[in-house]
Amino acid sequence: MTGGLVHLGLVFDGPEDLAASAAPTLRRALDGGDEVVVAADRGTVRNLREALGPDAERIAFPPPASLVRPSEPDFLTTVRRWARPDRRTTVLGQYLPTMSARACGFGEDALGVVLGDLPLTLICCCRRDLDPELLAALRRTHPQLATAIGVTANPDYRAPATTSPTPAALWGAVAGRVGVHGLADLGRLRRCVAEVAARAGLEGDAVRAAVLAVHEAAVHAVRRGEPDHAHLTLEVRALPGQTLFSELTGPHGIPVQQGPSGDPLAHLRPFCARAVVHEEPERRAVRVLSSV
Amino acid sequence: MTSLLPARPDHDAGLSHHTLLVADAVDRGRRGAASWVEQELSLGSKVYYKGWLPEGQRADQHWITGPAGPRGARDALGTGQLEFLDFPTLVERSGATADGVLAVYRGEVERALDDLWPTVAMTQESPELPMTDDADLVAEYATWEAGFDDLTHRWPVRMLCQLCVASESERAVWETVAVHHRDLVDGFWSATADDGHWQPRGDLDAHVARRFGAAVHGALRTARAGEHGPDLHLDLSGIDFMDVACAEILMLAARSAPADQHVVLHGGPRFLRRLFDAVGRPASVVESEQP
């Protein structure tokens, strides 16, 4: 496997079931030369060793509790360190019964937004008899599932909603907030982004790219019946030296036409690390991530 | 990166010039015009103001002499430093032809200079010309605007043409901006032309993209006929921000130009080239060989 983050959920009933569902993905990772880490209970490790045979010797099996959980504050920082420049890393971890479903959901959502470009395959496993809210969080936050027949699409996956509180600990506190009124007012928005970007450590063309990407996101957000009268709110968060996260929220309007590529944000992607649009009944939000 | 101060051309008040002032709404246009007239009055210019006068009102009831107008305008109207002419009277005197309009303006300039005014300032409100279906009127308009250029070249005349986008048809806005591409101020962006180089400045974004496109077409059209032509020499050094919409319009205009016409880029940040490449840069957009 090559490319960015592959974020898989896995729902299991017991060690045998977990090993059977994980084995196809792990075997493929080993065949592809990935570094593979499995932090699972002893029963699962035993079953995986049997399923994978001698290849299992190439897997690291740290204690299950040693792996950072999505609900922990330094989750993203730790996950970022797993990535290697020259090869893909595959990590399997299990949800613990003590995890907060709410915090877990934040962490899992954040993975896709913040670390979507890293060469990682993450297999997040939740036992079916754990807290139903925890199980629901796993089903909602993983685009694909690892199963005994391989990777399948997850029909329960939902992209992070605008109503989800942004986990400030992940992207820092709000460093800049500005309300703008229509296309004629976007200069103030650009200045806000430029100021926060400079404070976060972006320089020169990186600042220009961040400003342009957020501006284009704003144009996208107001592209509706009356673009000169739409009110937009911009919030910019920054992790100095790491990332700049901008979220534009505006009224939901006429659905925008897809570009020639089918991606309405294709024109701004060359200027940011990641961009996502969220359509909801009452509003539209565009999130843009820039890297330092 | 971006400035909240409206873009302004670097005019020395002592020089003649012919400028277009673009405003989205009537009140913004009035603020800009009032500021300009106030400056001209303070510089001691003879000021000719042409505009719309509500039916039944006198010149001293026009907004330019009221609280929203420039300081000193009412007194200047009384002393003769400021003269007001309403558009219906101008049409009556000029016959709405280029020759007629220029004759009126020329007469005013000569009269002011005969009266020993050192400079002449002339401005007119957005004319609301019905250009949409009248190609002849468009041609007449272009001719009298060229005549205005001639006035400013021959005499110490400063001319401010006002364009209120809300009052004009799309065609009129397009033609007006295209004709004035060499000297215009439009909110946060402006453009000037000097020594064969056309220089847009400030923030170019989706809000003004159509007007920027009109100015680009005007610049290309003029370059084809000019002594430095047919290539358009585009100075990018004054651009603070350009978005995808404006970059696309610029590249499309270059692509649709005649085969022998190039857009030659001068100065400006490397990032703009990256933007042009991202939206599709045609072979006719080339870099200047000058350092």
At a CB cut-off of 8 Å and minimum separation 6, what does A53 contact? none
Burial A150-185 (b: 16+ CB within 10 A, else e): ebeebeebebbebeeebbebbbbeebbebebebbbb
Chain B residues interacting with chain A (CB cutoff of 8 angstroms)? 1-4, 24, 187-188, 203, 205-207, 241, 243-245, 269-271, 274-275, 278-279
- Estimate to the nearest angstrom the gap between the alpha carbon of B121 and the chain centroid: 15
Give the tens place of pLDDT for each residue, A141-155.
999 999 999 999 999
Please give the backbone phi and psi of residue B30, each rounded to the nearest 5 degrees, phi first.
Answer: -65, -40
Residue of B28, B186, B205 to mutate when probing chain A, most A C-beta within 10 A: B205
The Cα–Cα gap between A268 and A71 comes to 31
At a CB cut-off of 8 Å and minimum separation 6, what does A57 contact? none
Which pLDDT score, from 0 to 100, does residue B2 have? 32
Which pLDDT score, from 0 to 100, does residue B254 have? 95
Which pLDDT score, from 0 to 100, does residue B128 have? 86
CA distances from A111 to A6, A198, B6, B69 (A): 10, 25, 42, 58
Q: Sort out which chain A residues have CB atoms less than 8 A from B207's CB and list them.
A: 182-184, 186, 228
A209 with B203: Cβ contact below 8 A: no
Could you tell me if A253 and A225 are in contact, meaning their C-beta atoms sit under 8 angstroms apart? yes
Q: Sort out which chain A residues have CB atoms less than 8 A from B24's CB and list them.
A: 184
| A145 DSSP β-pair partners | A9, A152
Which pLDDT score, from 0 to 100, does residue A134 have? 94
Which pLDDT score, from 0 to 100, does residue A108 have? 86
pLDDT surpasses 50 at A163: no
Domains in chain A, start-ordered, CATH in brackets? Answer: 6-153 (3.40.50.300), 168-291 (3.30.565.10)
A187 with B4: Cβ contact below 8 A: yes
A184 with B187: Cβ contact below 8 A: yes
Which pLDDT score, from 0 to 100, does residue A283 have? 73
Alpha carbon of A268: minimum distance to chain B alpha carbons (Å)? 8
- List the single range of A254-268, B19-33, B171-185 with lowest mean pLDDT: A254-268
B271 with A208: Cβ contact below 8 A: yes
The DSSP letter of residue A236 is E
End-to-end CA distance of chain A: 26
Q: Sort out which chain A residues have CB atoms less than 8 A from B4's CB and list them.
A: 187-188, 191
The Cα–Cα gap between A92 and A146 comes to 11
pLDDT surpasses 90 at A274: no
**Interfacial A residues in 222-241 facing B (CB < 8 Å):** 228
The Cα–Cα gap between B58 and A286 comes to 53
Alpha carbon of A206: minimum distance to chain B alpha carbons (Å)? 9
**Both tokens assigned to B98:** 């280029």
Nearest CA in chain B to A227: B207
Strand locations in A15-170 (E): 35-39, 59-60, 89-94, 120-127, 144-147, 150-153
Give the tens place of pLDDT for each residue, A58-106.
999 998 888 877 777 667 778 888 888 889 999 999 998 888 888 788 7
Could you tell me if B198 and B232 are in contact, meaning their C-beta atoms sit under 8 angstroms apart? yes
Identify the residue whose tokens are 């993450």.
Answer: A122
Give the tens place of pLDDT for each residue, B248-259.
999 999 999 999
Residue of B241, B246, B270 to mutate when probing chain A, most A C-beta within 10 A: B241
Q: At what angle do helices B209-225 and B170-179 cross, to 10 degrees?
A: 50
Residue of B244, B246, B277 to mutate when probing chain A, most A C-beta within 10 A: B244
- pTM for this structure? 0.75
Half-sphere exposure of B258 (CA within 13 A, CB side): 11
Which pLDDT score, from 0 to 100, does residue A192 have? 95
The Cα–Cα gap between B194 and A234 comes to 39
Name the CA radius of gyration of chain A, rounded.
Answer: 21
B24 with A184: Cβ contact below 8 A: yes
How many C-beta atoms lie closer than 10 Å to residue B166's C-beta?
13
* Pairing of β A283-291 and β A274-279: antiparallel
Stretch A184-202: mean pLDDT: 91
Q: How many residues does chain A have?
A: 292
Alpha carbon of B211: minimum distance to chain A alpha carbons (Å)? 13
Stretch B173-199: mean pLDDT: 94
Stretch B77-97: mean pLDDT: 93
Domains in chain B, start-ordered, CATH in brackets? Answer: 1-187 (3.40.50.300), 189-291 (3.30.750.24)
Which pLDDT score, from 0 to 100, does residue B4 have? 31
